Amino acid sequence: MRCKTLCQEYNRLPIEDLDIRRQMLKRILGKTGNNIQIEPDFWCDYGYQIEVGENFYANHDLVILDTGGVRFGNNIFIAPFCGFHTSGHPIDFERRNQGLEYAYPICVGDNVWFGAGVQVMPGVTIGSNVVIGAGSIVVKDIPSDSVAFGNPCKTIRKITDDDRQSNWSR
């Protein structure tokens, strides 16, 4: 309840008061860099099981179910409506109806961009220098230096020198 109450308070803060919002995030999260920004609404289970590095930005409607722990590296960009879910429930109804659940950690390297609506499932490790395309459901590990997308999310290709030289024109 402590964490839910802090998230509720955070989501009600004035949007222009970045310093107070940053201070509140440092109360909610287990470990943070100095440059962290999460747009409201933001929800998590415990908070203290979440670690974020330097230059962490998340757009609106981020959900982190952190029972198993979630660790983000440096230079992370998260688009709106993303979720990181460390918990799950048994497939068989007998154990599920007993209220049993499991939790596996999520680990994200440095320099990762998550497109809108990405959902990361329990136990996934995402390497560094990765782009996860919008709408992806990440159920398996993604290697470093990759572009990945889909449902289920799959590595499509490596990031190349051509990507670094792109002028972003259509």
Per-residue pLDDT tens for 77-114? 999 999 999 999 999 999 999 999 999 999 999 999 99
Strand order in the sheet with 62-65: 42-44, 62-65, 83-85, 119-120, 137-138
Report d(CA 74, CA 128) in Å as an integer: 9
Which pairs count as long-range contacts for 29-33, CB under 8 Å and 24+ apart, including other chains? Answer: 32/56, 33/74
Instruction: For residue 161, count other CB atoms closer than 10 A to its CB.
Output: 6
Selected catalytic residue, list 89, 133, 139, 145: 89
**Known catalytic residue: 89?**
yes
Over residues 140-157, the pLDDT tens digits come to 999 999 999 999 999 999
What's the whole-model pTM score? 0.93
